[in-house]
Amino acid sequence: MTISDFPRVHIATDHAGMELSAHLVSHLSAKGYEVLDHGPKVYDALDDYPSFCINAALAVVADQEAGTRALGIVLGGSGNGEQIAANKVKGVRAALAWNLSTAQLAREHNDANVVAVGGRQHSVEEATEIIEAFLTEPFSNDERHVRRIGKIATYERTGEVID
């Protein structure tokens, strides 16, 4: 991969993922990614993660709509709430990844554009491997996956459920 092959990465967390987030910003930047940190900037055990995660997800969609390759990372204790928040943004397909296979399949089959990882569920090394797997796995463009994603997008736009 050349530097131009790397997508821009938007990252957000809650207090439980701050150590992992700081590591990822440094690690991914050193690998050539342009990493944009959507917060929080300071530790607060009572923070509310939705705004951070929604802003990162909005930035991913805005970049993609502008023709910029972009992916997102949202982190928390479990990653569940952060995934839910990101998935409220129109155009986001956020996937909770808990191992290499789920990270790769999220990209390969679902063309997920945001990955959620639980910072309290993995070592820093394991979480980094999961996220790198997500960032480097291409979408297959297999017709069945394109069709299924299209049905989800239609529902998101129109509220129509297509059989």
Task: Give me the active site residues, please.
Answer: 82, 109
Instruction: Please report the DSSP string for the chain in residue order.
Output: --GGGSPEEEEE--GGGHHHHHHHHHHHHHHT--EEE-S-SS--TT--HHHHHHHHHHHHHHHHHTT--EEEEEEESSSHHHHHHHHTSTT--EEE--SHHHHHHHHHTT--SEEEEETTTS-HHHHHHHHHHHHHPPP---HHHHHHHHHHHHHHHH-PPP-
